[in-house]
Amino acid sequence: MLRNATRHTIGVAPRIATRKDKFARIDIAVVGCDCPACGLAAYESIFNIAGVAAATVDFKDGRIVALVDAEQTNRAALEAALKKRGVEMKIPDAAPPAR
């Protein structure tokens, strides 16, 4: 549609050729991404990783969501990129003790 609308001057190729049913969703809770600039920095740090098809940063909820090709990348790679950029991840709450 884009090619037709622009008389074949603009085209969009898929970022990743992986089928949609092969993507894994990774949710990462973060602290300190409370402004658009911080959110953009977090987004940029993970979006360019090979295997990341899509990413969103919700700075109000403190959450980053990425759709990835699990054969190309994983949660540890995303977290490492975020740490390198200075984004702090929330530590998951400890499970309550068993009774």
Handedness of CA 25, 18, 82, 32 (dihedral sign): negative
Residue 70 lies in a domain: yes
Give the mean pLDDT of 61-70: 89
Contact (CB, 8 A) for 87 and 32: yes
Closest CA to 33 of 64, 8, 6, 10: 64
- The answer as to whether 40 is a domain residue is yes
8 found inside a domain: no
Q: What pLDDT, on the 0 to 100 scale, is given for residue 13?
A: 52
Count of domains observed in the chain? 1
* CA gap 88, 45 in Å, rounded: 13
Please indicate, yes or no, if residue 50 is contained in any of the structural domains.
yes
Indicate whether 79 pLDDT > 60: yes
Q: What is the pLDDT of residues 16-27, one digit of tens each?
A: 666 677 889 999
Q: Which domain holds residue 65?
A: 21-89
Domain-embedded: residue 43: yes
Residue 15 in domain: no
DSSP state of 63: E
Instruction: Check: pTM over 0.85? Answer yes or no.
Output: no
Distance CA 78, CA 72 (A): 12
In a domain, 62, yes or no: yes
Q: Give yes or no for a contact between 26 and 52, defined as CB atoms under 8 angstroms apart.
A: no
Residue 69 belongs to a domain: yes
Q: What is the CATH number of the domain that holds 51?
A: 3.30.70.100
